[in-house]
Amino acid sequence: MADTAFMEKLVALCKRRGFIFQSSEIYGGIGGFWDYGPLGVELKRNIKNRWWQDMIVNPPAGPDGRELEMVGLDCSIIMNPQVWVASGHAGGFADPMVACKTENCNALIRADQFFCVAYFPVPMTGTELDELSTVLDGLIRKFKQAISAGVENGESELEKLITEFSAFSKLQTPLLVKSVIASSEIEAIASVTLTKLERKLVGESSKSPLAFPFSAAYQMRNTFGPVCCPRCGLASLATPRQFNLMFESNTGAVRTESSRVYLRPETAQGIFCNYKNVLDTSRVKIPFGIGQVGKAFRNEINPRNYTFRSREFEQMEIEFFCRDEDSMMWYEFWRNTRFKWYTDLGLAGSKLRLRDQTKDELAHYSRACADIEYLFPFADDFQELEGVAHRGCFDLTQHAKHSGKDLNYFDEEGWAKFLAERKAKGEPELTKDQKAEIGGKAPYRFLPTVIEPSAGADRGTLAFLCEAYHEDTAPDEKGVAQTRVVMRFHPKLAPVKAAVFPLVNKEGMPETADKLYKELKREMVVQYDDGGAIGRRYRRQDEIGTPFCITIDGETIGAAGATNPGTVTIRERDSLQQHRVAIGSVKAWLKERIGD
RNA sequence: GCGGGCGUAACUCAAUUGGCAGAGUGUCAGCCUUCCAAGCUGAAUGUUGACGGUUCGAAUCCGUUCGCCCGCUCCA
């Protein structure tokens, strides 16, 4: 169950303490855009820096035990518009939506994700059903491919399908396009369970149902009858409309059709477009990866759930290039590596899961995809933080085709070895033509296969915020249990690593504390606080998730009766335990616990 | 896009039938305080989202508009 009360408390805290603000708040805000305040920026930066450090600078060893080759990149947000034609975003990143006009229904349907069912007046024979299934399978596959490939002219693609369907459908005339069902049920309809489903849909009547894409059904409504809303069941659907999710802008001061450009909807295409540059300049060899952290933009139909679905968001993406025969090994590697990264940083509970996508969910070019998902307090279901996708060589193929450039990888090492082996065996030297012939294809020249771990930085930040929020009880000075709000960030992610307090504002304690504070701030984010009672200061730091509080007391300054002169207390946020540490060792003590 | 809900201090929320815009928390200043907030004193902060209307008088009623939240839907 969604815990809205929890979410409201977290959102209030984020505002009150300066983690997250609404964008342009003084003007009433703007939906789908958010600002990170002084603490939020530290938290998000820590997450991005960790990612960069753990994935690019010092990645774990590969599945073969060898060092991983990873390099970084920082691409522009606006690219040549042809990029988006090649990637499929220009054509396919637009969802055909259809709304129901019934007063109390108003359902909104993704037309490409729904299929219609038609019923035939006469029962079919087993052979006819088999034939029907085969044809349907083919049609559905083609339709899905057309959608995911982002065919530039979806209309004509649909018409082709309809013609094909009509040719077949002279077998029987459908009675009525009755309902719309989710694509996940399509397998059931198009395969052997026809009769079972038939019963489910039309009781014990003998009509045989036939399913086909919603858009096709809509176009054929004059022949087959009206398409009904899946929710209210009435024939009240409006004309399907395109929802384009690309942000548009213009280059140059004069706006014309040809000046139109797009803000990138993902950082990945910048990597693919620079893949050849990286190969040519940085001495990397396959397998290797390129990582990038950067903003991306999508005109979400309806941004919701705090920062979870923003229209401007930040991604942390890797494109890992490898040989196709090793690709499933690398896919497994990245799938596990990325999941472990989250658990190591504290998303360790049952709220985090690794889920393999089903065949239905996969894009047509994708061989496998795993989602790393988090159960946010605002949702009933797990939501995606990151997708690790096996993309085959789809992207590079597309860019090679559209740019006209050869994006093949040439394995110089393997080629040299091949030539040397021939020589050793005393085989005759190859002619120029033979060399071009053999060296011009696999295994020496080929388009690499790509594994893409693509993480949402803002989603990750939000997940870490949700995971950190705790209310527990701690005793006050009278020993009475009091509720306290504590953000239990992993020390590596905590926006403030430590706070320095003088126990009281006299006897030289402020001076000593200030000196320690200034020394620590050279290497980490620390705060100095002398305001109010010590307990109040502890609670303030608990609320922003500072893992360690250092107090300068009588012992530190060697007051009369001190048994541990020159030591401070370091209080731990989660356990409330205190440690006595020599003031000169504080920095080392903290660094040991916070890590690099 | 459609439907519903809602806009009062930094946060959480009051304000009787239309009658002087308030409280708690937080923040700031000072005092007190030798280790876990709700000790003391004081202070600042509001064109009640905006515009218009009704009225002697509007946070409150009406209209318009802007924005936010929820549902349908999408996704990193």
Round to a whole number and report the distance in Å from the CA of A104 to the C1' of B62: 26
Letter string b/e over residues A326-344, b meaning 16 or more CB atoms within 10 A of that residue's CB: bbebbbbbbbebbbebbee
Token couple for A91: 């054509």
Q: How far out from the chain centre does Cα A83 lie?
A: 21
3-state helix vs strand vs coil in chain A, percent to 5: 40, 25, 35
Q: Is the CB of A110 under 7 A from strand B?
A: yes
| A517, A538 contact by CB (below 8 A) | no
Which residues of A spanning 390-429 put their CB closer than 7 angstroms to strand B?
none
In 3D, which of A56, A44, A54, A48 has the Cα closest to residue A271?
A56
Whole-number Å distance between alpha carbons of A248 and A82: 14
Q: Is the CB of A503 under 7 A from strand B?
A: yes
Round to a whole number and report the distance in Å from the CA of A20 to the C1' of B33: 34
User: What pLDDT digit, counting tens, does each position of A61-92 carry?
Assistant: 999 899 999 999 999 999 999 999 898 887 65
Residue closest to B10, CA→C1'? A16
DSSP for A388-430, written as a single string:
EEEEETHHHHHHHHHH-----EE-HHHHHHHHHHHHHTTPPPP
Token couple for A382: 């797990």
The segments of chain A whose pLDDT lies below 50 read 120-123, 147-155, 158, 168-209, 223
Give nucleotides in strand B with any atom < 7 A to a protein C-beta: 1-3, 7, 10-12, 26-29, 31-39, 49, 66-76
In this structure, which amino acid lies at residue A287? P
Residue closest to B75, CA→C1'? A309
Please give the model's pTM, rounded to 2 decimal places.
Answer: 0.81
Which residues of A spanning 431-460 put their CB closer than 7 angstroms to strand B?
454-456, 458-459
Q: Is the CB of A508 under 7 A from strand B?
A: no
Q: What is the DSSP letter of A229?
A: P
The 3 state secondary structure assigned to A324-375 is HHHHHHHHHHHHHHHHHHHHHCCCCCCCEEEEECCHHHCCCCCCEEEEEEEC
A272 contacts: CB under 8 Å, gap ≥ 6: A87, A319, A395, A396, A399
Q: Is the CB of A574 under 7 A from strand B?
A: no
Provide the pairing of β-strand A288-297 with A312-322: antiparallel
Q: How far out from the chain centre does Cα A1 lie?
A: 23
CA A185 vs CA A115, A144, A278: distances in Å: 9, 14, 44
Q: Is the CB of A218 under 7 A from strand B?
A: no
Cα four-point dihedral sign A210, A212, A214, A218: negative
Q: Helices A38-51 and A457-468 meet at what angle, rounded to 10? A: 110
pLDDT of residue A252: 84
Cis peptide before A287 (omega within 30 of 0): yes
A163 contacts: CB under 8 Å, gap ≥ 6: none
Whole-number Å distance between alpha carbons of A227 and A220: 9
pLDDT of residue A153: 43
Q: Is the CB of A354 under 7 A from strand B?
A: no
Round to a whole number and report the distance in Å from the CA of A232 to the C1' of B69: 25
Which residues of A spanning 534-553 put their CB closer than 7 angstroms to strand B?
534-536, 538-540, 551, 553
Whole-number Å distance between alpha carbons of A3 and A496: 28
A456 nearest nucleotide via C1' and CA: B76
Whole-number Å distance between alpha carbons of A88 and A148: 8
Coil, helix or strand for A542? helix
Instruction: Please provide residue A336's backbone torsions phi and psi, each rounded to the nearest 5 degrees.
Output: -75, -40
Q: Is the CB of A309 under 7 A from strand B?
A: yes
Q: Is the CB of A221 under 7 A from strand B?
A: no
In this structure, which amino acid lies at residue A8? E
Residue closest to B67, CA→C1'? A28
| A458, A51 contact by CB (below 8 A) | no
Instruction: Please provide residue A483's backbone torsions phi and psi, each rounded to the nearest 5 degrees.
Output: -70, 135
Provide the pairing of β-strand A548-552 with A567-572: antiparallel
Round to a whole number and report the distance in Å from the CA of A37 to the C1' of B20: 38
In 3D, which of A15, A18, A44 has the Cα closest to residue A314?
A44
| A147, A112 contact by CB (below 8 A) | yes
User: What pLDDT digit, counting tens, does each position of A392-430 carry?
Assistant: 999 999 999 999 999 999 998 889 899 889 888 888 888
In this structure, which amino acid lies at residue A403? S
pLDDT of residue A410: 92
DSSP for A232-275, written as a single string:
T-SS-BPPPEEEE--EEEESSSS--GGGEEEE-S-SHHHHHHHH
Q: Is the CB of A483 under 7 A from strand B?
A: yes
Round to a whole number and report the distance in Å from the CA of A161 to the C1' of B75: 28
Token couple for A115: 């299929």
A30 nearest nucleotide via C1' and CA: B67
Whole-number Å distance between alpha carbons of A240 and A225: 16
Q: Is the CB of A10 under 7 A from strand B?
A: no
Whole-number Å distance between alpha carbons of A20 and A41: 9
Residue closest to B31, CA→C1'? A532
Round to a whole number and report the distance in Å from the CA of A436 to the C1' of B76: 42
